[in-house]
């Protein structure tokens, strides 16, 4: 056995769970202790400074320099009470938190500056040396600087000895270089559009908030085994590995008991989350062995997303302490369930109404139906944009692989709601409703029960499922920044609601009454968006055919799916709603294509190296042993006996030789394909070339290696195997 694998297994045998103690028995003693929240602001800030921050949060009023100084001072005093020595602007560049060169964030503390110098100016704005963050060419063509600016709507927090200030990250010329800037714009756009629609029903509504509740799936793997797998370390997934004799067939892991080492990790993670005011709630095992899920209570989408990014970072650090590596990759192991990050999304008014929850009376239900039906249309019209927002090299192994939503967008509503919509659609086919028809319609609407959807009426195969009081977008990948999906969904929703409002206004100008105008447009929209509704099994082959018949798009190839960021509909949403300008959108696409290319390139290089340096030599060693064995047999036995006794080993030698040759040839061809692709100037061509000409080798080379793994003596196999990675506690 290779030394790496041997020592890793030895180390593993001696692992013990860490002792984790709670700061106090009462959660309220430490919940939010590391957040500069409103309570602490009141304590540490002079009255006028406190008012300046609250006004900025609630009304978006700018904070004067004088006030900023007072706020910075108060923040500093609070931070010092927690022994903080440094501060840093904390932002989300366009990478995801994967095992790559750039992590999701600048590391806490690393580039942090000394807190003694902290002033209002430094609180509000900074110019980080961030030349290594992806920018899609913006800073090459314009200015070489970027700057960060304080996002007052997300509170400052302390990690270790560093005060972190959530910020947006933009180029010197104002183009967004991060996820937060466009997310804030999309949230503002949907706020404005939804408020206007709500006012058709209730003039008291002045704001609409977006809620997000994410469910983070992840794998844990022992740190020593992880370190002995260069593919896991460098790409976040295993590029080879034969399935274990037992994997998830028994599904005995799901809701099974959590191993003690993992429980200790989870306990510490929860404590740290709670200190940071992150309301994490559920933890349980997932379908695959060593796969888990963490979910908080939903929050305002901007804060929820900051919290998700922060949690991912905490998880990596705390896992290390417990001698685990945490895997956020969408498909770390082939043949085993992958990881997603469901985005539970809802809209809520400042009067406390959840717009995706049925109301208490027909009027409330009308409001609910209006939003529901607009979601249907939004998804129907923006299938390609929504898909573009979640595709990635990692997620491509998951989508359409019989375990995750397919690359086809559809919405599941549940029986009750579907039949109500069908009923509405069936009524009145001409433009004018008789009063009788209006009454039946009203009765139907009045019949929507306040609590919809019992837990049995759930469809786990739907990419966009209505779950009683929210929609659950399930196609997002576990390593992704939720903002990408949230930008697309909320911008598209804003766009859809604006169009809806225009249609209503037009009818009303023509003299149609408000209620009837709403009925009419809703009915039209229900009929027009019908193809997006699907209640059946989203993983089935029939659905693929049926979806094609309905004209729904189904795009599995990442670069092709990404290109839809720039199609007419996406532009009219993203540019039309002023989430991006043209340069920003083009750059975002370029960054995504580049990320795809880089990931496949790294995987291809790592696989090539491992194949040639680890696998082929091991195969040759084993082959030589077989040849020695054959020589011995020939010396010992008569020619006839030898023929009979040696047949299987000869066959094995032949088989191994063939596979070794195939691996070598394919690695060489793959390298050639990379070279050709690398010479391409255009990001689009390059990504397409990697997808078409490089990525297929990853599969075919792996296939040979996985067969060799079964044929070669376990003792000399160089890498930890699936059964070791997946079943160690
Ligand atoms: P499940 O696994 O059944 O989908 P979970 O309880 O694991 O459910 O996660 C559901 C997530 O949805 C949680 O983050 C929860 O806070 C969130 N959620 C619940 N209601 C809403 C809502 N109205 N809007 C947004 N998110 C919600
Ligand atoms: Mg869920």
Whether 538 is in the pocket of ligand 1, judged by its Cβ within 6 Å, is: no
Whether 295 is in the pocket of ligand 1, judged by its Cβ within 6 Å, is: yes
Hey, whose CA ends up nearest to atom 11 of ligand 1? 213
Domain 595-727 maps to which CATH number in 1.10.1370.30, 1.10.10.60, 3.30.830.10, 1.20.120.1560? Answer: 1.20.120.1560
Q: pLDDT value at position 126?
A: 78
Task: For residue 280, give the ligand nearest its CA.
Answer: 1
Cα 157 to Cα 4, 161, 164, 280, 560, distances in angstroms: 40, 10, 5, 16, 40
Structure tokens at 266: 């989870």
CA of 214 from ligand 2 middle (Å) equals 8
Coil/strand/helix, residue 87: strand
Structure tokens at 571: 């532009």
Rounded CA-CA distance 393/355 in Å is 35
Rounded CA-CA distance 227/9 in Å is 11
List beta partners, residue 150. 167
Q: pLDDT value at position 109?
A: 57
Cα 79 to Cα 32, 39, 157, 421, 570, distances in angstroms: 13, 14, 9, 54, 43
Tell me the pTM.
0.94
What are the average pLDDT values for consecutive 10-residue runs of the chain, which has 729 residues?
A: 83 89 91 96 96 91 92 96 92 62 50 85 76 62 68 94 90 87 97 97 96 96 95 97 68 63 93 96 76 95 96 95 96 92 97 90 85 98 97 90 78 88 72 63 65 63 91 95 97 98 97 90 94 92 93 94 97 98 94 96 98 97 97 96 94 97 98 98 97 97 97 94 84
Domain 31-177 maps to which CATH number in 2.70.98.40, 3.40.50.300, 3.10.20.70, 2.60.120.10? Answer: 3.10.20.70
The phi and psi torsions of 379 (rounded to 5 degrees) equal: -70, -40
Whether 213 is in the pocket of ligand 1, judged by its Cβ within 6 Å, is: yes
Coil/strand/helix, residue 2: coil
Q: pLDDT value at position 259?
A: 84
Structure tokens at 283: 């933890």
* Atom number, ligand 1, closest to the C-alpha of residue 296: 14
Task: For residue 471, give the ligand nearest its CA.
Answer: 1
Ligand 1 probe mutation, 215, 467, 472, most atoms within 8 A of CB: 215
DSSP 116: G
Q: pLDDT value at position 416?
A: 81
Give the dihedral of Cα atoms 462, 467, 473, 476; nearest 10 deg.
-90
Task: For residue 353, give the ligand nearest its CA.
Answer: 1
DSSP 592-650: HHHHHHHHHHHHHHHHHHHIIIIIHHHHHHHHHHHHHHHHHHHHHS-HHHHHHHHHHHH
Whether 280 is in the pocket of ligand 1, judged by its Cβ within 6 Å, is: no
DSSP 322-372: TTEEEE--S-SSTTS---BEEEEEEEEETTS-BTTS--SSHHHHHHHHHHH
Whether 503 is in the pocket of ligand 1, judged by its Cβ within 6 Å, is: no
Task: For residue 299, give the ligand nearest its CA.
Answer: 1
Whether 344 is in the pocket of ligand 1, judged by its Cβ within 6 Å, is: yes
Alpha helices in 163-259 (DSSP H): 180-198, 223-227, 230-235
Rounded CA-CA distance 164/158 in Å is 6
Best CA proximity match to 354, nearest among 542, 213, 170: 213
Rounded CA-CA distance 589/577 in Å is 18
Strands 162-171 and 86-90: parallel
Burial class (CB within 10 angstroms; exposed 0-12, middle 13-18, buried 19+) of 129:
exposed
CA of 353 from ligand 1 middle (Å) equals 17
Cβ proximity of 593 and 599 under 8 Å: no
* Atom number, ligand 1, closest to the C-alpha of residue 342: 4
Whether 470 is in the pocket of ligand 1, judged by its Cβ within 6 Å, is: yes
Rounded CA-CA distance 261/259 in Å is 6
Cβ proximity of 218 and 98 under 8 Å: no
* Element (DSSP H or E) covering residue 464: strand 464-466
Q: pLDDT value at position 443?
A: 65
Residue with tokens 């985005």: 343
Q: pLDDT value at position 452?
A: 60
Residue spans in the chain of domains classed CATH 1.20.120.1560: 595-727
CA angle 443, 472, 417 (to 5 degrees): 15
Fold of 187-580: Creatine Kinase; Chain A, domain 2 (3.30.590)
Residue spans in the chain of domains classed CATH 3.10.20.70: 31-177
* Atom number, ligand 1, closest to the C-alpha of residue 298: 16
Cβ proximity of 545 and 447 under 8 Å: no
Whether 482 is in the pocket of ligand 1, judged by its Cβ within 6 Å, is: no
Cβ proximity of 504 and 496 under 8 Å: no
Best CA proximity match to 521, nearest among 498, 504, 534: 504
* Atom number, ligand 1, closest to the C-alpha of residue 213: 14
Cβ proximity of 309 and 97 under 8 Å: yes
Ligand 1 probe mutation, 295, 296, 348, 469, most atoms within 8 A of CB: 295
CA of 257 from ligand 2 middle (Å) equals 20
């Amino acid at each position: 056995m290779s030394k790496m694998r041997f020592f890793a297994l030895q180390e593993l045998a001696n692992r013990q769970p860490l002792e984790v103690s709670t700061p106090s028995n009462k959660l309220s003693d430490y919940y939010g202790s590391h957040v500069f929240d409103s309570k602490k602001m009141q304590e540490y800030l002079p009255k006028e400074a406190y008012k300046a921050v609250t006004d900025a949060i609630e009304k978006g009023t700018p904070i004067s320099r004088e006030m900023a100084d007072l706020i910075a001072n108060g923040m500093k005093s609070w931070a010092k009470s927690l022994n903080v020595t440094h501060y840093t602007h904390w932002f989300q560049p366009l990478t995801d938190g994967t095992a790559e060169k750039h992590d999701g964030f600048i590391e806490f503390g690393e580039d942090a500056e000394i807190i003694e110098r902290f002033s209002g100016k430094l609180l509000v704005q900074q110019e980080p040396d961030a030349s290594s963050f992806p920018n899609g060419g913006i800073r090459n063509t314009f200015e070489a600087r970027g700057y960060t600016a304080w996002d007052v709507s997300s509170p400052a927090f302390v990690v270790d000895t560093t005060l972190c200030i959530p910020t947006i990250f933009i180029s010197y010329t104002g183009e967004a270089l991060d996820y937060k800037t466009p997310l804030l714009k999309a949230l503002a756009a949907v706020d404005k559009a939804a408020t206007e629609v709500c006012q058709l029903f209730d003039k008291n509504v002045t704001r609409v908030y977006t809620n997000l509740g994410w469910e983070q799936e992840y794998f844990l793997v022992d740190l020593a085994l992880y370190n002995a797998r260069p593919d896991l370390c460098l790409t976040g997934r295993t590029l080879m590995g034969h399935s274990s004799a037992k994997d998830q067939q028994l599904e005995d892991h799901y809701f099974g008991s959590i191993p003690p080492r993992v429980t200790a990790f989870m306990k510490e993670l929860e404590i740290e989350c709670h200190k940071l005011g992150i309301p994490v709630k559920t933890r349980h095992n997932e379908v695959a062995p060593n796969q888990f899920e963490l979910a908080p209570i939903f929050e305002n989408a901007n804060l929820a997303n900051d919290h998700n990014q922060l949690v991912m970072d905490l998880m990596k650090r705390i896992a290390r302490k417990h001698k685990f590596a945490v895997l956020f990759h969408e498909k770390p192991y082939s043949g085993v369930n992958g990881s997603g990050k469901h985005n539970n999304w809802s809209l809520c008014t400042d009067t406390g109404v959840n717009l995706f929850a049925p109301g208490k009376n027909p009027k409330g239900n009308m409001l609910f139906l209006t939003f529901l039906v607009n979601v249907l249309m939004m998804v129907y019209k923006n299938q390609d944009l929504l898909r573009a927002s979640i595709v990635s090299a990692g997620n491509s192994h998951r989508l359409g692989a019989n375990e995750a939503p397919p690359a086809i967008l559809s919405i599941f509503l549940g029986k009750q709601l579907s039949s109500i919509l069908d009923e509405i659609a069936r009524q009145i086919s001409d433009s004018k409703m008789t009063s009788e028809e209006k009454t039946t319609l009203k009765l139907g609407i009045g019949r929507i029960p306040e609590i919809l959807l019992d837990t049995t009426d759930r469809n786990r195969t739907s990419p966009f499922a209505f779950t009683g009081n929210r929609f659950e977008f399930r196609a997002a990948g576990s390593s992704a920044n939720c903002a990408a999906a949230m930008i697309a969904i909320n911008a598209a929703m804003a766009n859809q609601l604006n169009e809806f409002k225009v249609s209503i206004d037009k009818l009303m100008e023509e003299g149609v009454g408000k209620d009837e105008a709403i009925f009419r447009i809703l009915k039209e929209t229900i009929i027009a968006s019908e193809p997006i509704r699907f209640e059946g099994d989203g993983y089935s082959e029939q659905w693929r055919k049926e979806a094609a018949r309905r004209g729904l798009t189904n795009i599995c190839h990442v670069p092709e799916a990404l290109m839809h960021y720039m199609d007419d509909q996406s532009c009219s949403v993203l540019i039309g709603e002023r989430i991006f300008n043209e340069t920003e959108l083009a750059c975002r696409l370029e960054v995504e294509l580049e990320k795809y290319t880089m990931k496949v390139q790294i995987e291809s290089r790592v696989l090539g190296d491992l194949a040639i340096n680890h696998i082929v030599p091991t195969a040759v060693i084993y082959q030589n042993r077989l040849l020695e064995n054959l020589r011995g047999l020939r010396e010992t036995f008569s020619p006839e006996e030898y023929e009979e006794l040696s047949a299987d080993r000869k066959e094995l030698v032949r088989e191994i030789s063939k596979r070794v040759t195939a691996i070598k040839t394919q690695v060489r061809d793959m390298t050639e394909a990379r070279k050709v692709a690398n010479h391409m100037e255009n990001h689009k061509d390059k990504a397409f070339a990697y997808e078409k000409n490089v990525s297929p080798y990853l599969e075919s080379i792996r296939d040979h290696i996985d067969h060799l793994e079964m044929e070669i003596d376990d003792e000399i196999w160089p890498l930890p195997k699936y059964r070791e990675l997946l079943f160690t506690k």
